[in-house]
Amino acid sequence: MRVSVIGCGHLGAPHAAAMAELGHEVIGVELDPGTVKRLNGGRGAFYEEGLDALLQKHTPTGRLRFTTDIAEAAEFADLHFICVGTPLREDGRGYDVSQVLGAVRSLAPLLSRPCTVVGKSTVTVGTVARLQQILAAEAPAAELVWNPEFLREGHAVADSLHPDRIVAGLASPAARHAIEEVYAPILARGTELVLTDPQTAEVLKSAANAFLATKISFINAIAEVCEATGADVGDVAYAIGLDERIGHAGMRPGIGFGGGCLPKDIAAFTHRIDELGAHQAAALLTAVQDINAERLEAAVRLVATAHAAPVDGARIAVLGASFKPGTSDVRSSPALRLAGRLHQDGARVVIHDPQALEAARARHPEYTYAATAEEAAAGARVVVLGTDWHDYTADPGLPAALARLVEQQVLVDVRNAVNTGAWTGEGWQVWQPGRPPRHPAP
């Protein structure tokens, strides 16, 4: 099939590459000419595991190409994915959907033959109805489908190729046929296609994110209980997760959720459902956000306790800048926020990240960065593990390598991610949220 992907950011670039991998001919449309140039050259504008490999496989053959010209896409494709951003409004009261409205308004007058417009951006409940009006007026031959995206950054390519379900909010047999055709190789593997009306698809995406955030805040709230009682949240999470109704996924306590999606999606959804009168649901999600904000403060206190002295003037290494491993995305990154708080409190913070240094430096040029974890740790009084990259959690040589460089062997693992025995065995004290500190083996 000939498809276009409009908006080639963290969602759109992996989606375009995945569509080419599925066998479609793909044109990506992106406003930023620098991004278009990089993508056509086989490199993403950010690090995302597996993305560059697919770009390098499909751009040289012409199966996948990128442009700034939406008219080229309108002429070329029979199905158009809308993947533009929906940031939080500046006043925090819901999404700014201007990119979505703008993309559809510029595409619609160019659609002269029957085609399908498939929205993947996460939008406010009610946005699809507005887009339907624009298309009905400007492009009556176009069908609109809402096809929310559930990919996880850091796994964006794999999740686009192997989603655990496809949801399509649609209203006509022609729209259903188009969705079945574009996702045919995925559906052929037995992946479930959930068909709904468009407004259900809008709510469903927000509900999925709300549940994930609630689960994270739940175990983080239990971490707070453990801190108050001396219990160990690691054992609590493990034991309760053995109940299949609870499970272990999303149950690792830590510094809370961040990134370009969950925080803004929960904030926008909470605001909208409160407006619509769903006050109990809004109160629940307000508590989820409050708990999340408090985990950052708890992490700041944990560093101060582990350091056993004010952090003012102390050299602190922060390992990790991206909001999670597998991506260079630093939007609302808990690791960077913690680094910023420690910097504000007077600590001499040095940050390392395997992939996100460039993105972090662009956003926060005022911080100090190091090219390696060793360089960041040299002379540090506390090492903070802020992002659970495998480079930090699965390198068996790291505890010993850093031990030789630091002034004091104190690790604060705000992600509850390291094998504590591997670190205490090399002489480290290990501090984790919701757990008693671990001391070096005698």
Ligand X SMILES: NC(=O)c1ccc[n+]([C@@H]2O[C@H](COP(=O)([O-])OP(=O)(O)OC[C@H]3O[C@@H](n4cnc5c(N)ncnc54)[C@H](O)[C@@H]3O)[C@@H](O)[C@H]2O)c1
Q: Which residue has the tokens 């158009």?
A: 80
The token duo for 117 is 């417009």
413's enclosing H/E stretch is strand 410-413
Q: How far is the CB of 166 from ligand X (least distance, A)?
A: 13
To the nearest whole angstrom, how small is the minimum distance from the Cβ of residue 329 to ligand X? Answer: 7
Q: Is 120 annotated as a binding residue?
A: no
Q: Which residue has the tokens 């757990």?
A: 435
Q: Based on CB atoms, which residue is closest to ligand X, 122 or 355?
A: 122
* CA-closest candidate to residue 391, choices 367, 359, 355, 416: 355
CB of 10 to ligand X, least distance (A): 4
Distance CA 299, CA 432 (A): 9
- CB nearer ligand X, residue 110 or residue 378: 110
Residue 328 vs 420, nearer CB to ligand X: 328
Q: How far is the CB of 307 from ligand X (least distance, A)?
A: 35
Q: Which is nearer to ligand X, 13 or 406 (CB)?
A: 13
- 261 flagged as catalytic: yes
Helix (H) or strand (E) holding 422: helix 420-424
Ligand-binding site membership of 276 (annotated)? no
CA distance 240 to 121: 35
Rounded least distance, CB 428 to ligand X, Å: 34
Give dist(CA 419, CA 415) in Å, integer.
11
205 annotated ligand-binding residue: yes
- CB-based closest residue to ligand X: 9
Burial of residue 140 (CB within 10 Å: 0-12, 13-18, 19+) is exposed
Smallest CA-to-CA distance from 88 within 97, 100, 76 is with 97
- Whole-angstrom Cα distance, residue 289 to residue 294? 9
Is 138 or 294 the residue whose CB approaches ligand X more closely?
138
Q: What 3-state class would DSSP assign to 318? A: strand
Query: Which residue matches tokens 């508590």?
Result: 287
Does the annotation place 258 within a ligand binding site?
yes
CB of 127 to ligand X, least distance (A): 10
- Any binding-site annotation on 244? no
Query: Does residue 110 have a known ligand-binding role?
Result: no
Element (H, E) at 156: helix 156-161
3-state SS class at 243: coil
324 annotated as a binding-site residue: yes
Asked if residue 39 lies in contact with residue 45, where contact means CB atoms within 8 angstroms, the answer is: yes
Residues making contact with ligand X (CB under 6 A) = 6-12, 29-32, 83-86, 99, 102-103, 106, 121-122, 149, 151, 153, 260-261
Based on CB atoms, which residue is closest to ligand X, 151 or 406? 151
Evaluate whether 160 touches 15 at the Cβ level (below 8 Å). Answer: yes
Among the options 8, 83, 115, 261, which is catalytic? 261
Rounded to an integer, what distance in angstroms lies between the CA atom of residue 320 and that of residue 258? 13
How many other CB atoms are there within 10 angstroms of residue 373's CB atom? 24
Annotated binding site for substrate: 150-153, 205, 258, 324
Annotated binding site for NAD(+): 86, 122, 153, 264, 331
Active site residues: 261
Annotated binding site: 86, 122, 150-153, 205, 258, 264, 324, 331
